[in-house]
Chains A and B, each alone.
Chain A
Amino acid sequence: MIDFESVTVTYPDAPGPTIENVDLHVPEGELCLLAGRTGSGKSTLLKCVNGLVPHFTGGELTGRVTVAGRDTRLFPPRELADLVGYVGQDPVSGFVTDHVEDELAYSMESLGLANPVMRKRVEETIDLLGLADLRHRPLAQLSGGQQQRVAIGAALTAHPRVLVLDEPTSALDPGAAEEVLAALHRLVHDLGVTVLLAEHRLERVVQYADRVVLLPSGLAGAPGEVLAESEVAPPVVRLGAVLGWASRPVSIRDARRLARTTPVPPPGSHLPAPSGVRPAGFSTKDRPQDSSVAATPGDGASFPAGRSVRPAEPQAPLLTVTGAALRYRDTTALAGVDLTLARGERLAIMGRNGAGKSSLLWGIQGTGDLDAGTVTVDGEHPRALKAARRRKLAGLVPQQPTDLLYLETVAEECAQADLESGAAPGTCRTLLDRLAPGLPDALHPRDASEGQRLSLVLAIALTASPALLLLDEPTRGLDYPGKTALATLLADLSAQGHGIIVTTHDVEFVAEYATRVVVLADGEIVADGPTAEVVTASPVFAPQVSKILPGYLTVESVATALAQGSP
């Protein structure tokens, strides 16, 4: 159905080709998953399928791309619209109309279909994707998962034989992601649509895939085998490698069967007990998470020791929030939130899209509004302070880090940050070198990768040396190595006494990073406790490893347990 013959794409002014010599053959009715690190050319490859590369983006394409026999060299995207449905990374920026039903009909209007046909197909699509309750709603009022489903539906109404999706679940909470993936699964099985998708969150998607293609190598094959060779692999595949399974399962169900045959020491037994006897359960709040201990074998190994000194001295909490409330017109963002955070604690805030996570972070930092409630950071009220003083108490990295960047080079941004914080010249650059070594001074921030930009903004926030650090969905564009690096870095910072709060949808990242988890729903805290307790309480929030080996959260903790269990 989709054929790539030694395809190489080079963008103008790029130092080298973005994808090189890719051969790919996707048969009809298959769900094919593209995996690879950030910047390995996943989006570019997807855009080749419907001709956006090179017709729309420019650049040079050598080789041949054909879809159902149509050569994209001869057919621009609009002439492939009846054959290929394309859903971009951000569904909202691709919406042309304001209403769900109009949006569903747009492609068909362009194709010039007759009105009775359009009516029928819109109804079909509404049933297929479960959009009946939303059909008359304005697009702007929908949640992220609903918007993504509408975007998929809008591509489907043209009855394409191929559906191309760029990170369809990255911005979604676990529940919404399941919704979208269930819809895709149905398309492949019931309608025989060929689906090609790229995704960072492999743990969500890989069990649905018939085949995985790894970039930049172009290696293709069965999911388990291909991912075993890869830097980016979901926890279940890495667990298979650690436990030395012969076959490489990608689904929890298969892995669980294999796990019964593999001896693994019971959880908790591998940890040296520094203060008395520790039960197998994860109930002590101030105990360092075993995963973070194992995740940082290098310099990170020093901080469990550092931490074990800390809990002895009773401290006033770094952050106290009481009764935080906020309403926007007719929606309640926060409905009386009480929260405390100690120094050295790493808190993750989870919850559905629109549960009030971002509002809470902005409210704590003091730049965002709160209708009621008090926030105390280090004995001061950030909302009563000037912006410049406020950021010395609490630094926030917003969801779109680029909003903070406006200068032409990394060096200028760093110098500006030093100036704004009244820090010694070079402070920001030194911090940046620790976070992302080797970022060139002359680089334009917009040309940096997602992870590098995050590091830059984090360095800018840290220049003011705030005691409290808040990060709003930092893992969005990060791949697995990027997320591990961030978890290690945050663990280091908390060991130095910073309190850290991260909002995220990413349960695997939470398992790696957090010591404590808070779940928000409709602006209220519905769960608050140590990571292991909260995330394993609900299957939606549970990381893969805990589903296979109850009691463990991360692959690294299993590896450590094995190493210590069989010396």
Chain B
Amino acid sequence: MPGRLHPGAWWLWALALGTAASRTTNPWLLLLALAVAGYVVAARRSGEPWADSYKVFLRFGLVAIAFRLGFHALLGGYGGTHVVFTLPRIPLPDWAQGIRLGGPVTAEGLVASFYDGLRLAVLLGCIGAANALANPKRLLRILPAALYEVSVAVVVGLTVAPQLVASVKQVRRARALRGDTKRRARAILVPVVTDALDRALALAAAMDSRGYGRRGPAHRLTGALVLVGLLGACLGLYALLDGRSPVLVSGPILVLGLGLAVGGLVLGGRRVTRSRYRPDTWGWREYGVVLSGLLAIVGVYAFPTGLTPSVVPLAMPGLPALPALGVLCALAPAWLSPRSTR
């Protein structure tokens, strides 16, 4: 549809930016990637309920950093000489040798685990950006027809989830009217769950009335073919990339799996009589957006100096110029992609 970018392009761009970020622990580079994603989201997100998911994922990121720091403090793992504080050590039985609980916490360790946590947070931020920019429901529309039923289940789940959050807020507010502000699980859960069930039933009834699933459901066999095929393909790919199992084993698994999956999709697609309204098209804007993401990867992979700042001994990390330039290229969609109509 004109006025919006192909959702696949947004996902590829976000995944590319995430891939670039996953290669480095340089905090400046990571923060730059996060800022790039945030700027593009602010410039190009739509007015849909999903458009707020970037913030939610950023919060997840903060939680990830906190967890990483907490676990490090508890379990240790990095060396270093600058002890910041010492936790009481908990003695463990013999069979748990090699694991320690508590003990000294070093500045080096804290910084290293902060870098690690930050990297995870940036990855989450990239996924959040993809969610905010491309509605996951629209991404499901481009799935092959045979997977239609799976995608419908996902769509229903995606619809109910934000409604649940709204419902919890609404019920909590209503509870306050009864003078009971304690977060009693039962008082919240009963109205929320009954409400969610009612809504799910209403949605199912509406879909049925509007012709969903006409001419019977897709054959069970095609579903099984596709799932087994995809599983096989995953296993084969893993074995191939792992490099430890012989290619003679992993190759045929991959080929067989892909064959099954494609066969199932073709077979199932024939039975489904759905059509698609104004399918998303792939044009020069989409290529441009994906290319800008790929440039970020190139910048990081081609110039690997300064990507992992030294932790032992502690040093102030610098910002490597060329990888930073690559990451900055990913800003292009803020101008390349069409402004969403509100």
A residues near B, CB below 8 A? 50, 52, 55-56, 76-82, 84-86, 88, 90, 93-99, 101-102, 105-115, 118-119, 122, 136-138, 140-141, 154-155, 158, 362, 365, 367-368, 386-391, 395-396, 398, 400, 402-406, 417, 420-421, 446, 460-461, 464
With contacts A94-B203, A101-B1, A398-B174 taken as known, whether A106 is within 8 angstroms of B208 at the C-beta atoms is no
Bound-state CA distance A79–B341 (Å) is: 36
Judge if B97 is at the interface, Cβ distance under 8 Å: no
Q: Please tell me if the beta carbons of B179 and A110 are within 8 angstroms of each other in the complex.
A: no
7 sampled A-B residue pairs with Cβ under 8 A: A90-B202, A93-B203, A94-B206, A140-B48, A398-B174, A403-B170, A403-B171
Closest partner residue, chain B, to A362 (CB atom): B173
Chain B 53-66, CB-CB to A under 8 Å as 1, else 0, gives 00000000000000
Question: Besides the contacts A158-B211, A406-B187, what 18 more A-B pairs have beta carbons closer than 8 Å?
Answer: A52-B208, A55-B208, A76-B208, A78-B211, A90-B202, A96-B159, A98-B49, A102-B277, A110-B212, A110-B213, A115-B277, A115-B278, A154-B210, A391-B179, A398-B173, A404-B174, A406-B188, A461-B177
Of B229-237, B258-266, B268-276, which binds chain A?
A: B268-276
Q: Please tell me if the beta carbons of A155 and B210 are within 8 angstroms of each other in the complex.
A: yes
Chain B 277-321, CB-CB to A under 8 Å as 1, else 0, gives 111000000000000000000000000000000000000000000
Task: Output the least CB separation between B184 and chain A (Å).
Answer: 9
The 9 closest A-B pairs by CB, nearest first: A81-B211, A94-B206, A110-B211, A105-B277, A388-B179, A403-B174, A93-B202, A112-B273, A406-B190
Bound-state CA distance A260–B58 (Å) is: 70
Q: Please tell me if the beta carbons of A78 and B203 are within 8 angstroms of each other in the complex.
A: no
With contacts A136-B341, A446-B194 taken as known, whether A110 is within 8 angstroms of B137 at the C-beta atoms is no
Judge if B186 is at the interface, Cβ distance under 8 Å: yes
Closest partner residue, chain B, to A416 (CB atom): B178
Bound-state CA distance A290–B155 (Å) is: 54
Task: Output the least CB separation between A181 and chain B (Å).
Answer: 22
Q: Please tell me if the beta carbons of B211 and A118 are within 8 angstroms of each other in the complex.
A: no
**What A residues does B211 contact at CB under 8 A?**
78, 81-82, 107, 110-111, 158
Task: Output the least CB separation between B159 and chain A (Å).
Answer: 8
Bound-state CA distance A152–B133 (Å) is: 29
Q: Please tell me if the beta carbons of B275 and A420 are within 8 angstroms of each other in the complex.
A: no
Judge if B205 is at the interface, Cβ distance under 8 Å: yes
Judge if B113 is at the interface, Cβ distance under 8 Å: no
Give the secondary structure class of A's interface: helix
Q: Determine the interface band of chain B, counting residues with CB < 8 A from chain A.
A: 35 or more
Bound-state CA distance A532–B214 (Å) is: 55
Instruction: Report which of B137, B188, B273, B278 forms a contact with A97, defined as CB distance below 8 A.
Output: B137
With contacts A367-B173, A395-B177, A404-B177 taken as known, whether A77 is within 8 angstroms of B208 at the C-beta atoms is yes
Q: Please tell me if the beta carbons of A111 and B214 are within 8 angstroms of each other in the complex.
A: yes
Interface centre among A107, A140, A406, A460 (most CB of B within 10 A): A406
Judge if B245 is at the interface, Cβ distance under 8 Å: no
Q: Please tell me if the beta carbons of B214 and A98 are within 8 angstroms of each other in the complex.
A: no
Task: Output the least CB separation between A536 and chain B (Å).
Answer: 35
**What B residues does A85 contact at CB under 8 A?**
209
Judge if B90 is at the interface, Cβ distance under 8 Å: no
Bound-state CA distance A118–B279 (Å) is: 12
Q: Please tell me if the beta carbons of B155 and A96 are within 8 angstroms of each other in the complex.
A: yes
**What A residues does B191 contact at CB under 8 A?**
402-406
Task: Output the least CB separation between B269 and chain A (Å).
Answer: 12
Judge if B176 is at the interface, Cβ distance under 8 Å: yes
Q: Please tell me if the beta carbons of B205 and A387 are within 8 angstroms of each other in the complex.
A: no
Judge if B149 is at the interface, Cβ distance under 8 Å: no
Bound-state CA distance A50–B209 (Å) is: 7
With contacts A81-B214, A140-B48, A140-B49 taken as known, whether A387 is within 8 angstroms of B209 at the C-beta atoms is no
With contacts A98-B135, A102-B277 taken as known, whether A138 is within 8 angstroms of B205 at the C-beta atoms is no
Bound-state CA distance A141–B190 (Å) is: 28
**What A residues does B174 contact at CB under 8 A?**
398, 400, 403-404
Q: Please tell me if the beta carbons of A56 and B205 are within 8 angstroms of each other in the complex.
A: yes
Judge if B199 is at the interface, Cβ distance under 8 Å: yes
Task: Output the least CB separation between B217 and chain A (Å).
Answer: 11
Judge if B92 is at the interface, Cβ distance under 8 Å: no
Task: Output the least CB separation between A314 and chain B (Å).
Answer: 32
Q: Please tell me if the beta carbons of B208 and A138 are within 8 angstroms of each other in the complex.
A: no
Judge if B157 is at the interface, Cβ distance under 8 Å: no
Q: Please tell me if the beta carbons of B275 and A118 are within 8 angstroms of each other in the complex.
A: yes
Judge if B181 is at the interface, Cβ distance under 8 Å: yes
With contacts A78-B214, A398-B177, A404-B175 taken as known, whether A96 is within 8 angstroms of B203 at the C-beta atoms is yes
Q: Please tell me if the beta carbons of A138 and B48 are within 8 angstroms of each other in the complex.
A: yes
Q: Please tell me if the beta carbons of B199 and A93 are within 8 angstroms of each other in the complex.
A: yes
Q: Please tell me if the beta carbons of A109 and B277 are within 8 angstroms of each other in the complex.
A: yes
Q: Please tell me if the beta carbons of B202 and A94 are within 8 angstroms of each other in the complex.
A: yes
Bound-state CA distance A461–B174 (Å) is: 11
Q: Please tell me if the beta carbons of B209 and A81 are within 8 angstroms of each other in the complex.
A: yes
Interface centre among A52, A367, A446 (most CB of B within 10 A): A367
Q: Please tell me if the beta carbons of B176 and A367 are within 8 angstroms of each other in the complex.
A: yes
Bound-state CA distance A406–B174 (Å) is: 11
Q: Please tell me if the beta carbons of B275 and A112 are within 8 angstroms of each other in the complex.
A: yes
Q: Please tell me if the beta carbons of B209 and A110 are within 8 angstroms of each other in the complex.
A: no
